[in-house]
Chain A
Amino acid sequence: MEFLSSDNVGVLDLATGEVSEDELAEDLVAEKIGGAAINAYLYEQHQDADPVVLGSGLLTGTLVPGTSLGLMSAKSPLTGALCHVPIVQYAGMELKYSGFDYLVLRGKAPEPSLVWIHDGIADVEPAGDLWGQDVWQTVDAIRSNMGDEMIQVLAVGPAAERGSSLAAVMNNFWPGADRFALGKALAERNIKAIAIRGMGLLEVAEDEDFVERCVELLAKVKEGAWAGKQGFADLAEAMGRPEAGGWLQPLIHRSRASFNVPFAYNSFAMIEGDPSVLTEPDIDEPGVLVSDPLGAMALQELGLGAAEAAGLLRDCAKDGLDAANLAALCQAQGKTDAAAISAALADIDGEVAAPSGPFSPWAPAQPLLADFGESGDAWWQRRQAVAYIMGLDPIFALMSPELSEEVLVEMAALGTELDITAETLDQAVSSLLG
């Protein structure tokens, strides 16, 4: 596979550390396009080893607006079925440039381990010293040991180590998009963290035409209703939850985007310090990035104050807990005291509602700031499937009708010179939705 690809599919045996590599077949891309569809294909190929598959969308890491997405696919401890968890912020892009289009992790490591991915190398390294560390300590240690703060770390925390059904994969210091307890799944395989650094290059067929189309697309996208808006408050308002926006707004410091995503939906809640001061804080841990908006809203629904909720979000991020599922469990168990919840994090566990499909309900189940002409669960599932295949950020996908299936197919074909059509996409979507 020459274009939009590293032409490399790796299979890493966690037990032995051995890696086998193969080219990414053009036929496979012409049939499945990429992202979750190829992850699912590889999952089936290696199902005997209960694999975890890492991959990225065909357009991930390109100038097509919003194309930030990486994916972790595995059997969910919650559903018992294959699920796809978005790898967001910068980590999806780093994965795309890491020298692997897809990496299959087979089996189980014999001891607590770190999977270290860079330049087409995938290593299993002992991480016994990280086991027992919280997520933030883990990220700090890995970046310090490996010598670069740009390294993206998908880590699990103590929650995963104790086998909690709330254990989620974190995205560096912050919540990711895992509603499927894949944190627990990684810990069961003795994987403490997956560290990624992307330093490669993606060739593009018809590169000048491709980039000019990206310029045109962004110009169109910028005419969308999201323009001029940003952050948690505007997202909450778009969801019809303005009270949640107003609730957290006094703490908001800055809002920032995932890679190449025009709308910055990640808002930093400053717990200690003045949120209006933008200079570098003296405090090392001044707050928490609200990168899981629905998780924050769930804590608001629990009746917590904004500062209490932000503090709890930070505790969850360190412990590697899914805040949305935690809130749901607390709601069910009648726990509404933030300090008590925080003190008892290690003891809170139980059955949580499993997502109904293969895609993470981390992304709101509705169009946002845009009219797609339709809505509802079937629409959302399809839109997510398209995003997961192409590499489009799952939240931005809900606010960018300009990035239609037709447009994404056009860009996929233009960037690869493959015969990718609406029918191809239709079949790839069907392969995910069944």
Chain B
Amino acid sequence: MGVKIDPLKCNACMACELACGYHRDDAFALLSSCVVLYRAKDRKDYYGVMLKEEESLIIARPEGLEVNRIGAVDEGSSDKGDASAKPMLLREACDLCDDRDDGPLCQQMCPVGAIYQD
């Protein structure tokens, strides 16, 4: 069970990212967050949210959810090496804020209910 993201509700405010950063660093920062707003295409008004879990990188965008298995090799790829690399290597996977009684802080700090759990 992990957190879920509704990309159509998300208003791109990054509160989740800051909340996660606090969970990671006990301070306000953004570089350690496992939930990250994808905001590189602002000229097209196109954005989404990436969530790093233990085994997957979830990309929630308007088209829907994309689940990328971490380290997976594309079908038909000639890359058969031992991939020790991971996307967002320095960011820990989501642990659902396991040290908080109230659950994930990102969920609590989302102002529009775009983050939830089943």
> Do the two chains touch directly in the complex (Cβ atoms below 8 Å apart)?
yes
Chain A residues at the B interface, C-beta cutoff of 8 Å: 4, 61-63, 65, 90, 93, 97, 136, 149-150, 172-173, 198-204, 207, 211, 214-215, 218, 221-222, 230, 253-264, 268, 270, 278-281, 283-287, 289
Q: How far is the CB of A204 from chain B (nearest CB, A)?
A: 6
- Contact A211–B13 (Cβ < 8 Å): no
Q: Is the CB of B28 within 8 A of A215?
A: no
Alpha-carbon distance between A268 and B18 when the two chains are bound, in angstroms: 24
Neighbouring B residues of A222 by C-beta, 8 Å: 111
Given contacts A284-B44, A286-B44, contact A199 B31 (CB under 8 A): yes
Contact B13 A258 (CB under 8 A): yes
Q: Most chain-A CB neighbours within 10 Å: which of B19, B45, B47, B61?
A: B45
- Whether, in the assembled complex, B71 has its beta carbon less than 8 Å from a beta carbon of chain A, the answer is no
Which of B34-42, B49-57, B83-91 contacts the other chain?
B34-42
In angstroms, Cα B29 to Cα A63, docked, is: 10
Q: Is the CB of B41 within 8 A of A280?
A: yes
Instruction: Decide: A260 near B14, CB < 8 A? Known: A63-B109, A201-B29, A215-B109.
Output: yes
Q: Which residues of B contact A (CB under 8 A)?
A: 8, 11-15, 18-19, 22, 25-31, 39-47, 61-63, 102, 105, 108-109, 111-112
Q: Is the interface of B mostly helix, strand, loop or mixed?
A: mixed
Interface contacts (Cβ under 8 Å), in number, total: 114
B28 near A202 (CB under 8 angstroms)?
yes
Q: Is the CB of B22 within 8 A of A211?
A: yes
A5 to B58, CA, bound (A): 33
A-B contact pairs, 16 of them (CB 8 A): A63-B18, A150-B40, A172-B42, A199-B31, A202-B29, A215-B109, A255-B11, A256-B11, A257-B13, A264-B13, A278-B8, A278-B63, A280-B41, A286-B45, A289-B42, A289-B45
With most chain B CB atoms within 10 A of its CB, the pick from A200, A257, A284 is A257
B13 to A260, Cβ gap below 8 A? yes
Q: Is B108 in contact with A215, judged by CB distance below 8 angstroms? A: yes
Q: Which 4 A-B pairs have the closest CB atoms?
A: A262-B111, A278-B62, A149-B40, A268-B45
A262→B27 contact, CB < 8 A: no
A6–B108 CA distance with the chains assembled, in angstroms: 27
Contacts of B47 in A (CB 8 A): 256
Given known A149-B40, A150-B40, contact A207–B11 (CB-CB < 8 A): no
- Closest-by-CB residue of B relative to A257 is B13
Known: A211-B105, A221-B111, A278-B62. A63 touches B11 (CB 8 A): no
Complex Cα distance, B102 from A40, in Å, reads: 42
Q: A285 → chain B, closest Cβ, in Å?
A: 6
Asked whether, in the complex, the Cβ of A259 is within 8 Å of the Cβ of B45, the reply is no
Interfacial chain A residues near B40, Cβ < 8 Å: 149-150
Tell me how far the C-beta of A164 lies from the nearest C-beta in chain B, rounded to whole angstroms.
24
Beyond the given pairs A262-B111, A280-B46, 16 more chain A to chain B contacts, judged by CB atoms under 8 angstroms and listed by A's residue number, are A63-B109, A90-B14, A149-B39, A202-B27, A215-B105, A230-B112, A257-B13, A259-B14, A260-B13, A262-B13, A263-B111, A278-B8, A278-B62, A280-B61, A283-B44, A285-B43
Q: Give the distance in Å from the alpha carbon of A221 to the alpha carbon of B22 in the complex.
A: 21
Q: Which residues of A contact B45 (CB under 8 A)?
A: 253-254, 256, 268, 270, 281, 286-287, 289
- Bound complex: CA A149 to CA B39 (Å): 8
B62: chain A residues within 8 A (beta carbon): 278-280
List chain A residues, Cβ under 8 A from B63: 278-280
For residue A69, give the distance in angstroms from its CB to the closest CB of chain B.
Answer: 14
**Knowing A258-B13, A259-B14 touch, does A62 contact B28 (C-beta < 8 A)?**
yes
A150 touches B39 (CB 8 A): yes
How far is A286 from B112 in the complex, measured between Cα atoms in Å? Answer: 26
Q: Which of A63, A202, A230, A283 has the largest number of chain B CB atoms within 10 A? A: A63
- Check A65–B111 contact: CB distance below 8 A: yes
- The chain B residue sitting closest to A60, CB to CB, is B28
